[in-house]
């Protein structure tokens, strides 16, 4: 079941990237992150009450609660970086770098959790993942002229190149999230753990909005973009619930690579929606990422 949940997590995470990209063409990325977190929080607590785990919150150990809070903080940091990168960069550029968190997560899981079964395959798969990511990101994206023009109009400054910094930040914080959540969710019902973490993310996201004085922009949000932000929130909530069930019951160094195959969904939709095409080099990189993930899932 945890393998099925990891696959579902990947599917919904892939939808999240595309829906979020549609929702932040004109809407500020920090504000969009805060709004979609409201949806994720409502979704998470609905699931908690549906499975009847709300009353177990008083039984959570202080250590687990502390790690859940820390994982919520790293999640918030990862989201903020991720959506800033998406706002400036290309989906096909940002997503592969974000998925490089897999490399750090697998290595940390081996070191911290002793997940050394089939170690040679895990290390070889991680190396192939790194190669695939390099091939996918070391290129000039083949966007449609419409998307290129829109990005150029919005970002006529050196700051537009910062998408790489944000994408790398997203990957590092995402890797830390997986490790912290594995510790924090031990002995905690997975839906409840997800809901607690989401509450931390919500506080962090809105704090940033108010500190930057962006709350006034709420009145001017495009209604179509707001719809996509809400839909991305539902997709995120579904992805999280599946992901943390898989993390709790499965092997971290296998679950995380499978979850990161959401890149297949993101790239497929980016081609259909934004007309972003892969170069041959990037296609080979994607193939390496898929092959290494399948190998680790089967033999780990």
Does 140 have pLDDT greater than 90? no
- Please give the Cα distance from 15 to 267 (Å, whole number): 10
Alpha helices in 185-251 (DSSP H): 190-211, 223-249
Mean pLDDT of 11-32: 86
Cα–Cα distances in angstroms (integers) from residue 236 to residues 18, 40, 44, 148, 242, in the given order: 11, 7, 10, 27, 10
User: What pLDDT is recorded for position 3?
Assistant: 84
DSSP 8-state secondary structure symbol assigned to residue 250: S
Cα–Cα distances in angstroms (integers) from residue 8 to residues 11, 26, 259, in the given order: 5, 30, 8
Mean pLDDT of 220-226: 90
% residues pLDDT > 90 (the chain) = 20
Does 300 have pLDDT greater than 80? no
Model-level pTM greater than 0.75? no
Mean pLDDT of 213-217: 88
Lowest mean pLDDT, pick from 6-15, 41-50, 63-72, 128-137? 128-137
DSSP 8-state secondary structure symbol assigned to residue 276: P
298/109: higher pLDDT: 109
Does 160 have pLDDT greater than 70? no
Does 159 have pLDDT greater than 80? no
User: What pLDDT is recorded for position 67?
Assistant: 93
For 35-84, how does the pLDDT look when each residue is reduced to its tens digit (9 = 90+)? 999 999 998 899 899 889 999 999 999 999 999 999 999 988 998 888 88
- Please give the Cα distance from 181 to 248 (Å, whole number): 9
Look over the chain and give the mean of its residue pLDDT values, rounded to a whole number. 83
Mean pLDDT of 137-163: 51
12/266: higher pLDDT: 12
3: Cβ–Cβ under 8 A, 6 or more apart, which residues? 246, 250, 254, 258, 297
For 95-120, how does the pLDDT look when each residue is reduced to its tens digit (9 = 90+)? 778 777 878 888 888 888 888 888 88
Does 161 have pLDDT greater than 90? no
User: What pLDDT is recorded for position 152?
Assistant: 46
């Amino acid at each position: 079941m945890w393998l099925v949940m990891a696959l579902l997590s990947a599917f919904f995470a892939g939808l999240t990237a595309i829906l979020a990209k549609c929702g932040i063409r004109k809407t500020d990325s920090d504000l969009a992150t805060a709004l979609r977190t409201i949806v994720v929080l409502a979704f998470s607590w609905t699931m908690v009450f549906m499975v009847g785990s709300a009353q177990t919150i008083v039984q959570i150990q202080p250590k687990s609660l502390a790690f859940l809070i820390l994982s919520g903080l790293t999640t918030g940091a990862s989201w903020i970086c991720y959506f800033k990168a998406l706002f400036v960069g290309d989906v096909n550029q940002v997503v592969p770098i974000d998925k490089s968190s897999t490399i750090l997560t697998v290595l940390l899981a081996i070191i911290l959790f002793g997940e050394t079964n089939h170690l040679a395959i895990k290390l070889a798969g991680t190396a192939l993942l790194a190669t695939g990511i390099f091939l996918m990101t070391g290129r000039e994206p083949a966007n449609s002229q419409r998307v290129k023009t829109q990005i150029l109009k919005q970002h006529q400054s050196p700051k537009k190149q910062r998408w790489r910094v944000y994408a790398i930040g997203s990957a590092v914080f995402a890797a830390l999230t997986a490790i912290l959540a594995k510790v924090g969710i031990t002995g905690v019902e997975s839906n409840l753990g997800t809901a607690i973490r989401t509450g931390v993310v919500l506080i962090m996201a809105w704090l940033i909005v108010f500190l930057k004085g962006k709350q006034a922009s709420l009145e001017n949000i495009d209604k179509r973009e707001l719809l996509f932000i809400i839909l991305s929130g539902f997709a995120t909530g579904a992805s999280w619930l599946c992901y943390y069930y898989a993390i709790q019951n499965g092997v971290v160094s296998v679950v995380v690579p499978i979850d990161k195959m959401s890149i297949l969904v993101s790239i497929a939709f980016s081609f259909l929606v934004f007309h972003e095409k892969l170069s041959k080099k990037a296609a080979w990189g994607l193939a390496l990422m898929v092959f290494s993930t399948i190998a680790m899932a089967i033999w780990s």
